[in-house]
């Protein structure tokens, strides 16, 4: 009953907002390009050109999920060589990356709005054999429409954070009938399995297969990146570099205070700040200057005769953070000194770097546990502790390096999750039963 109410509300909102939906693309060219796809009008001619094999629609919201989608597509194709893929994203950045990654190997589209007419039109046009929703993308109308059309739906690389489960459980009466229509829940950890069960998922459809992002890390390491970014940052082999990745509001000030203490001991140290949201670059630039540091933007470092001279660099480009970890002596993971769940500490660890983070790593507790068991991850609670641990690691490079190497080994030992998830997806291409 709740799903029907949600669907009716979606219809009402869709038609009430129709004039606005038409006005947005007409008034702003930025939204005009793929507006038809938002309404469920997909370029089927391009889809037919990909062949007539089993169709897999993979919905990937973020940049990280697009990379996971690539790993799944490769693994599925090893078992189903003529597989056809549709990859949907929500953001322009996600779409650009998906087009880069998949090229002519998949139809890349903007996902239709979660409104009944849009979803129904898109699914009816594509008729996928399996609809794959990555991580925690539970879209009620997508699931309901797919169920009515006998399209199998799977939650894959499923993750339910400790922060969100209390909210989800309160809405169990809404989620349970949605989850009952899903054919497979291929979760990352046993804790994720327990949480999706608490939300109402049928126990017999829930499996645990690890984190497919581990697979990507091993394949993404390119030794040449270290030399390229060392030249870009104009740093010598032994010069200390700290990379703070995916930082959020309230963290940069703490980082800069800690870095001031680090520079007293290591005057040549360089700090690279990579904000999670690039629209904050100017704000951070002003904060750095108020803190008494000179800073430069990454985009200003290239070109004839250009050479970094500032102790602080702000990353103002997409897609380069992972490569930048290659030149770090150690890394800090953002969204963790503030209660926002943290960021993935395995990315720097895959390069063999020691990783520091704040106490709020709820969204990546499994990755944190993996690194701490290897001695390659440490929790810091404030700026003073952050400064102390950075100084210690820079002063003890051999001991720090040994611990970081163990972290890299732990990451690489956890590969092949994408293959396990993919096998579960392929099984769903059989006759439709629920």
Q: Tell me, what's the pLDDT at 203?
A: 96
Cα gap 340→131, rounded to integer Å:
30
- What is the band of 431 on the pLDDT scale with cuts at 50, 70, 90? low
Mean pLDDT across the chain, nearest whole number?
A: 89
Q: What would the pLDDT profile of 389-414 be if each residue is shown by its tens digit?
A: 999 999 999 999 999 999 999 998 87
Residue 263's contacts (CB-CB under 8 Å, 6 or more residues apart) are 269, 311
- What is the band of 415 on the pLDDT scale with cuts at 50, 70, 90? confident
Q: What would the pLDDT profile of 355-375 be if each residue is shown by its tens digit?
A: 999 999 988 888 999 999 999
Percentage of residues of the chain with pLDDT beyond 90: 66
Mean pLDDT, range 13-37, rounded to an integer: 57
Q: What would the pLDDT profile of 343-352 be if each residue is shown by its tens digit?
A: 999 999 999 9
90-94 long-range contacts, CB within 8 A, separation 24+ = 90/61, 91/61, 91/62, 92/30, 93/63, 93/318, 94/60, 94/61, 94/62, 94/63, 94/65, 94/66
Same topology, domains 31-211+416-427 and 223-412? Answer is: yes
Topology given in CATH for the domain delimited by 223-412: Rossmann fold (3.40.50)
140-148 and 172-179 are packed helices; what angle lies between their axes, rounded to 10 degrees?
30
Q: What would the pLDDT profile of 44-65 be if each residue is shown by its tens digit?
A: 888 888 888 999 999 998 777 8
DSSP state of 62: S
372 is catalytic: no
Q: Architecture of domain 31-211+416-427 in CATH?
A: 3-Layer(aba) Sandwich (3.40)
Token duo for residue 216: 């990507």
Domain ranges of the chain: 31-211+416-427, 223-412
How many other CB atoms are found less than 10 A from the CB of residue 118?
A: 23
Comparing 11 with 144, the larger pLDDT belongs to 144
What's the count of helices (H) and strands (E) in the chain, helices before strands? 22, 14
0.85 exceeded by pTM: no
Residue 276 CB-density burial (10 A; 0-12 exposed, 13-18 middle, 19+ buried) = middle
Q: What would the pLDDT profile of 82-139 be if each residue is shown by its tens digit?
A: 999 999 998 888 888 899 989 888 999 998 987 888 899 999 999 999 999 998 878 8
Classify the C-alpha dihedral 41-45-46-52 as positive or negative: positive
Of 65, 137, 252, 378, the catalytic one is 65
Q: What would the pLDDT profile of 185-218 be if each residue is shown by its tens digit?
A: 999 999 999 999 999 999 999 999 998 888 878 7
DSSP string, 302-333: -STT-----SEEE--SSS-HHHHGGG-SEEEE
Residue 89 near residue 111 (C-beta atoms within 8 A): yes
């Amino acid at each position: 009953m709740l799903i029907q109410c949600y669907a009716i509300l979606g219809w009402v909102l869709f038609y009430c907002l129709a004039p606005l939906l038409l006005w947005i693309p007409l008034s702003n060219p930025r939204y005009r390009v793929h507006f038809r796809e938002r309404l469920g009008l997909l370029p089927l001619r391009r889809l037919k050109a990909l062949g007539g094999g089993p169709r897999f629609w993979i919905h990937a919201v973020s940049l990280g999920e697009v990379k996971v989608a690539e790993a799944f597509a490769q693994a599925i194709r090893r078992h189903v060589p003529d597989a056809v893929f549709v990859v949907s994203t929500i953001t322009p950045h996600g779409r650009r990356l998906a087009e880069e990654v998949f090229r002519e190997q998949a139809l890349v589209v903007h996902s239709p709005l979660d409104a009944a007419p849009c979803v129904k039109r898109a699914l009816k046009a594509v008729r996928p054999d399996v609809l794959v929703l990555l991580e925690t993308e539970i879209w009620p109308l997508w699931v309901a429409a797919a169920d009515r059309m006998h399209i199998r739906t799977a939650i894959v690389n499923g993750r339910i954070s400790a922060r969100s489960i209390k909210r989800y459980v309160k809405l169990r009466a809404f989620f349970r009938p949605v989850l009952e229509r899903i054919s497979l829940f291929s979760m990352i950890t046993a804790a994720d399995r327990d949480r999706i069960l608490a939300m109402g998922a049928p126990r017999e459809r829930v499996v645990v297969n690890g984190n497919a992002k581990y697979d990507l890390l091993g394949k993404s390491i390119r030794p040449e990146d270290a030399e390229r970014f060392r030249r870009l940052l104009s740093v010598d082999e032994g010069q200390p570099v700290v990379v703070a990745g995916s930082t959020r509001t309230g963290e940069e000030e703490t980082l800069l205070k800690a870095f001031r203490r680090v520079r007293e001991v290591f005057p040549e140290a360089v700090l690279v700040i990579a904000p999670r949201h690039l629209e904050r670059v100017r704000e951070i630039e002003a904060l750095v200057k108020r803190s008494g540091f000179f800073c430069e933007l990454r985009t200003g470092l290239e070109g004839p005769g250009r050479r970094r001279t500032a102790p602080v660099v702000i990353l103002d480009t997409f897609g380069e953070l992972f490569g930048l970890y290659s030149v770090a002596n150690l890394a800090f993971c953002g969204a963790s000194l503030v209660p926002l769940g943290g960021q993935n500490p395995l990315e720097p660890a895959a390069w063999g770097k020691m990783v520091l983070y704040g106490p709020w790593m709820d969204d990546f507790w499994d990755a944190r546990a993996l690194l701490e068991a290897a001695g390659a991850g440490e929790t810091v609670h404030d700026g003073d502790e952050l400064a102390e641990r950075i100084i210690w690691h820079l002063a003890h490079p051999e001991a720090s390096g040994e611990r970081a190497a163990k972290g890299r080994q732990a990451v690489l030992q956890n590969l092949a999750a994408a293959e396990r998830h993919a096998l579960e997806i392929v099984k769903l291409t059989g006759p439709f039963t629920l």
